[in-house]
Amino acid sequence: MAFRGFALATIGLVATAHAQVSTQCQGDVCYSLSIPQTSSSSNSRDIYFRIAAPKDYQWVALGQGSEMDGAQMFVMYQSANGQNVTVSPRNGEGHNTPEYNGNSQLTLLEGSGVLADKMVANVRCSNCSSWRGGNMDFSSSAASWIYANKFGYPIQSDDLNAGIQQHGNAYGTWSWDFATARGSNSVNPFLETSVITPSIINKSKSRNTVLVAHGGMASLAFLVVFPIGGILVRVANFSGLVWVHAGLQMLAWLIYLVAFGMGVWLATNTDDIKKAHPVIGIALFLVLLVQPALGWMHHKMFNEKRTRTAWSWTHIGIGRLAILVGMINGGLGLQLAGDTEKKHVVPYAIVAVVFGLAYIGAIVWGELKRRRNRPNEQYKLQGDELHSMN
Ligand code: HEM
Ligand code: HEM
Ligand SMILES: *[C@@H]1O[C@H](CO)[C@@H](O)[C@H](O)[C@H]1NC(C)=O
Ligand SMILES: *[C@@H]1O[C@H](CO)[C@@H](O)[C@H](O)[C@H]1NC(C)=O
Ligand SMILES: *[C@@H]1O[C@H](CO)[C@@H](O)[C@H](O)[C@H]1NC(C)=O
């Protein structure tokens, strides 16, 4: 027994020495490859690859080929119970969502799983030399590989056909030097090598915190505080109302300023800045810059003319449009973030519907009341600005 234990330990040591693993990192995602001696000579046997990434990714993929079209891709996401990973082999056609194709015969090996902050897939591929649309010669000196990933709410699924969202700007291609990957005799070369992922994991964690803070604060501004400021000026009637309105809108504006800063940071980090959600958010930010001045001008002119002027209509029109577009934009943000589990979508929708309807109701009610009052002479003298300026 003692001898056998010793022999095994020796074999383990030998395997370690010969486990040739080549690791490539793209940002905080690392890909490893190991080509056994036998498969590099005969080009017909198993190869091994590893995908290791922070678990804050929705999915992370490695692919054989030089572009999506015609590539064989391996998409990793968390398994249904969140403890392990699913690796789905897919074939690329054009830039469409790649479709599952099991010909490559993948086996998930020991050492795979969601381990602390990381998700790791150690995979044996038994039929990776050719696939629908391409082939790869593992006895050659190098070949082209691609990678892509999507940051955001994790997919937790055992379904090899699970729907995935399009990647952000984190995708690319590189030529993998096979010389450094060749020569292992191990049946799981990654068991003997520690998981390498750069410490950017902490950045991913803090990115998720910023994402939730951004969504929460922007929503607070556009779903709650701006609408309350609008509702008050429409339905309330007390001394100094205009300043309560101005104060609330400035508060909402400041909350949005912080959310805006975080949004810009989120967008530039992923190159999402050209997407509809950030573009609309930036447009709203710029448009809202002029609102205080317009509100002030309305107020001044109203005190002189005792009626709505062009300033009033601009201030009111821009304000109403901005609030409603902002509410819709939050929905686009949730879509961009890929909230597939609807953890944030449902509360957002409920708050948006409640405050959206309350706001629209207040506008309708206020304008109807205003129209009713219009022929009233006394009203004209007092003005239709709903606050009184004592
Ligand atoms: C970011 C800042 C602001 C925003 C987003 C904003 C937004 C709005 C909106 C949406 C309305 C129309 C409410 C409705 O739907 O009927 C409104 C009305 C009004 N705002 Fe503002 N506002 C801002 C700042 C100000 C300031 C600084 C003042 C005054 C100094 C002001 C004075 C008024 C007044 C008097 C009305 C009532 C106009 C009327 O109904 O005839 N606003 N504002
Ligand atoms: C009306 C203004 C805005 C609202 C209501 C809003 C709201 C949201 C919400 C609710 C989310 C999803 C957060 C989550 O799932 O927890 C989100 C995501 C996002 N927002 Fe905004 N946002 C606004 C403006 C902006 C602006 C101005 C930018 C950038 C310039 C921006 C960039 C982003 C990005 C990049 C994401 C997705 C991040 C990712 O998953 O990679 N947003 N936003
Ligand atoms: C994940 O699944 C593989 C293959 O079934 C297994 O070897 C590994 O131990 C699992 N990992 C965890 C953390 O359960
Ligand atoms: C291996 O892959 C090729 C190309 O996709 C396919 O034609 C073949 O059937 C696969 N072999 C097995 C045993 O699945
Ligand atoms: C990342 O965060 C963990 C705690 O969450 C900490 O122990 C570790 O030192 C951090 N790493 C870096 C590189 O900041």
pLDDT in tens, 69-86: 889 999 999 999 999 999
Residue 317: other Cβ atoms inside 10 A: 11
What SS3 state is found at 263?
A: helix
Atom from ligand 5 closest to the CA of residue 202: 1
Q: Report residue 306 as tokens.
A: 């005792």
* 237: exposed, middle or buried (Cβ count in 10 Å: 0-12, 13-18, 19+): exposed
User: Contact 277/329 with Cβ under 8 angstroms?
Assistant: yes
How sure is the predictor about 44, in pLDDT bands with cuts at 50, 70 and 90?
low
Distance (Å) from CA 303 to ligand 1 centroid: 15
Q: What distance lies between CA 150 and its chain's CA centroid? A: 7
Per domain, the residue ranges of the chain are 13-196, 203-387
Q: Is the pLDDT of residue 7 over 70?
A: no
Give the closest residue to 76 by CA, choosing from 148, 28, 126, 143.
148
| Bridging pattern class, strands 29-36 and 182-184 | parallel
Atom from ligand 4 closest to the CA of residue 130: 4
Residue range 246-256, pLDDT digits in tens: 999 999 999 99
- Start-to-end C-alpha separation, the chain: 98
For ligand 5, atom 7: residue with the closest CA: 202
For ligand 4, atom 9: residue with the closest CA: 103
Q: What is the pTM of this model?
A: 0.63
Ligand 2, pocket residues at CB < 6 Å? 151-152, 211-212, 214-215, 218-219, 222, 260, 263-264, 266-267, 270, 272, 277-278, 281-282, 284-285, 326, 329-330, 333-334, 336-337, 339, 344
What SS3 state is found at 145?
A: strand
Residue range 126-137, pLDDT digits in tens: 999 999 889 999
CA 175, CA 33: separation in Å to the nearest integer?
12
Topology (CATH level 3) of domain 203-387: Four Helix Bundle (Hemerythrin (Met), subunit A) (1.20.120)
Ligand 3 touching residue 70 (CB < 6 A)? no
Residue range 276-335, pLDDT digits in tens: 999 999 999 999 999 999 999 998 888 888 888 888 899 999 999 999 999 999 999 998
CA 7, CA 268: separation in Å to the nearest integer?
55
CA 95, CA 68: separation in Å to the nearest integer?
6
- CATH code given to domain 13-196: 2.60.40.1210
For ligand 3, atom 12: residue with the closest CA: 113
For ligand 4, atom 14: residue with the closest CA: 103
Give the closest residue to 197 by CA, choosing from 19, 370, 344, 28.
28
For ligand 2, atom 16: residue with the closest CA: 212
The DSSP element (H or E) to which 388 belongs, if any, is: none
